[in-house]
Structure 1
Amino acid sequence: MPTTPKLSAKQQASTIAELQAKVATLSAQVNEQRAEHVRLQAILESAIHAIIVVNDQGLVVEWPGPAELLCGWTKEEIIGQSIFKIIPHRYRHMHQTYLPDVINGRRGHVFGKQIEAAILYHEDFEVPVELAVVLTRVDERCEFTIFIHNITERKEYEAQLHHISITDGMTEVFNRRGFMTLADKQLKLACRGNDDVFLLYADFDNMKWINDTHGHSAGDEALMETARILKKTFRQADLIGRVGGDEFTVLITDRKGDNSQEAVVKRLHEALEQANQGNRPFQIQLSLGTVHYDHDRPCSIADLMIQADQLMYEHKKQKKLEGVANYE
């Protein structure tokens, strides 16, 4: 049998030195990898955004502190668990079918983009977020790094801006833009259900007299009181708008068919009569026009308002002839 030649002492020393150098190199690489891991963990733990890492089975493998704060699950509760725990129930089926397609490369349009979505906070309530997903492939395996940013404050601010844009600042009912937009949607819904629809148009008879006699602050108070009366008279589901300086309109939808034009007007007259029994130096006097939407002759909200406006002016003329109100 062949024998392995013996190494000289010098060769042995050289071989040992080479092995020691390799061990030192490997040790340095391991230490560097450990240091890199520590640095990465420090970044993950101190990041403003939550950074979550998920494997190709949809299981959570990294869950730093910001993720705990945002999602409500501790690291001990979530590591090794499905990422679907933080996905709202109504989206889970879609994501369960979507994940395999992503892994197989059939879907990739979400990567590198910021997406507005919602996550579930500890199975309790939804949190609006903005997220971005990065796909990493290592040794035939996929990992997803998900960057999540809580946008609750931004959404609340946007909602406030939207409210301001469609609301009359003085009376806190819808302004003309808000009323027209929402009434158009409400009318379409009512048409689908064949609900009764009424539109009431109201205009002050005595606003100029109030302003000239008692000042514009009294006129403002009259407008605000009228809005309060309308809110008290009609349901929360009915749309109330201030569509002109001293003009208001109400869209009433009735699925049960309990209302009629006469009932709507009577209810408002009773509310006005009660409100005018106070000690104000002026009374609130309105001319009214109401129309019933004819499902057999469809029209727009704008057309319905024109019809109601014409009826309101007829009512105003009649009241002038009868001398039953203070006019400018």
Structure 2
Amino acid sequence: MKNLIEEITEWEHTFDAIPDIILVIDNQYKIIKANKSAAEKLRHKRSDLIGNLCYKIFHKTDEPPSYCPRYKTSATKKEHAEEAYEENLKGHFLFSATPLHDSKGRITGTVEVARDISSLKLTTAELQEREKLFRSVTEFATDAIISIESSGRIVYWNRTAGSMFGYSPDEAVGEPLTIIIPKQFRQAHKKGIKRFLSSPSQKLWAGTYDVMALRKNGSEFPVELSLSNWESNGEIFFTGIIRDITERRQAEEKLHETSITDELTGLLNRRGFLTLSEKQFQIAKRNLRNFSILYADLNDMKRINDESGHKAGDRALVDIANVLRQTFRSSDIIARIGGDEFAVLITEPRSDDIENIAVKHLQENLEIHNEQMERDYKVSISMGMAHFDPKHPRSIDELLSRADKLMYINKTDQKTGRK
């Protein structure tokens, strides 16, 4: 008897410790037992609940509402559960009713449980609202936004990604990210993800990179990729924000080209000549190759300007530039490095007598030019040439200085000869 009393007492304590509203209701909807939470949340003394109709106490109605689980359990003879907003308690509840049976299997009542799920509903609503906001932001973003799971499969693909790469969301989601990665970079992409996933201590993989991307039509184009990773339910995901930088890259290339190109003649300027010549210098020094630098100056530039005007002077400079292009190979580096001064780096001269050959060829082309062009003047140049010896290397500046001095000697000789 003592053990039975202890068990009943323990059951009563458990019954009252449960935070959900629990009511035991007979077949006439009368409350025959209620736990502590029921009394507190229904704002009644427990003794006042006993014997009252459950729907009058709980719902403040004159008859069971349509969502009443006790009502539906009576009709189906089975356990029933339903979510509903309870106006009386100003909250969302999960109602459930379980039938009670006597020894003969007849239903004698039900146990009704009402769990307050308002906070869960609020959280769900907030999440839905946030997702709606996220969708509205990402779907109309001017950048492509793509998310992949750790296997490399695409799980999110916004509208801009579709227009940028040519795949609709239905085509892209579920496919490997490699559909937008040029073939030559796919292996590096796979290794990068594998390396990250094999390092548990590495929490963040973020950064901005300039990479090449691949459209559905097979064309490649440059993009700026801002990459980050995140975790959900123990799984790692990666999200990339991708911007097409084709126009920016073209502008940068044009700016770079402008910065190293002489506007008048279209040849390299001094900066461009020194930049490319320095690269050639390093190659020649490393591979023990020869090269030569020709320094040329347009003769009588001042006289042409004074007698025929500055436009004629500009035209004479363009004429010299064109003759230099005709004379030397595309692999040679040709530049206008000053007002009326030009330089040519002759890569890998094919003859030890390159100076005489180049000078002779250049003079012949100048003569042909003067014969063909109807000008008020004839163009001529003074020249000097310095040679790079890989066994005794001198810098580009030293070679230019040497060729410049030889050019002035040649100019003096020409003037003396004319006199």
Q: Which has the higher contact order (CA 8 A, sep 6+)?
A: 1
Further displaced range: 28-37 or 220-229: 28-37
What is the match of residue 309 of structure 1?
A: 404
The answer (yes or no) to whether the contact 2:284–2:390 under 8 Å persists in 1 is: no
Cα distance in 2, alignment partners of residues 88 and 284 from structure 1: 52
What is the match of residue 77 of structure 1?
A: 171
1:7 counterpart letter in structure 2: I
What is the match of residue 290 of structure 1?
A: 385
CA pair 117-266 structure 1, distance change in 2 beyond 3 A: same
Higher-Rg member (1/2): 2
- The RMSD of aligned alpha carbons is 2.8
Counting matched residue pairs gives 320
Compare the two structures and name the one with the higher strand fraction: 2
CA pair 79-257 structure 1, distance change in 2 beyond 3 A: farther
The answer (yes or no) to whether the contact 2:146–2:241 under 8 Å persists in 1 is: yes
CA pair 317-281 structure 1, distance change in 2 beyond 3 A: same
The answer (yes or no) to whether the contact 1:85–1:123 under 8 Å persists in 2 is: no
CA pair 47-183 structure 1, distance change in 2 beyond 3 A: same
What is the match of residue 323 of structure 1?
A: 418
Pairing of 1:224-243 with structure 2 (within 5 A): 224-243=318-337
Cα distance in 2, alignment partners of residues 85 and 281 from structure 1: 63
What is the match of residue 7 of structure 1?
A: 25
Cα distance in 2, alignment partners of residues 206 and 134 from structure 1: 64
CA pair 193-221 structure 1, distance change in 2 beyond 3 A: same
Cα distance in 2, alignment partners of residues 231 and 174 from structure 1: 12
What is the match of residue 217 of structure 1?
A: 311
- Which of 225, 248, 254 is the equivalent residue of 2:348? 254
The answer (yes or no) to whether the contact 2:205–2:229 under 8 Å persists in 1 is: no
1:307 counterpart letter in structure 2: R
TM-score by length of 1: 0.87
What is the match of residue 196 of structure 2?
A: 102
Compare the two structures and name the one with the higher helix fraction: 1
Percent identical across equivalent pairs?
A: 34
- 1:294 CA drift (Å): 1.1
The DSSP-based 3-state class of the residue aligned with 2:376 is coil
- Which of 9, 25, 43 is the equivalent residue of 2:137? 43
What is the match of residue 93 of structure 2?
A: 22
Cα distance in 2, alignment partners of residues 195 and 274 from structure 1: 33
CA pair 91-181 structure 1, distance change in 2 beyond 3 A: same
The DSSP-based 3-state class of the residue aligned with 1:290 is strand
The answer (yes or no) to whether the contact 1:195–1:257 under 8 Å persists in 2 is: no
Residue by residue over 1:25-56, the C-alpha shift from the partner in whole angstroms, topping out at 9 and shown as x without a partner, is 57786676556545433332211110001111
5+ residue gaps, structure 1: none
- 1:292 CA drift (Å): 2.5
The DSSP-based 3-state class of the residue aligned with 2:25 is coil
The DSSP-based 3-state class of the residue aligned with 1:143 is strand
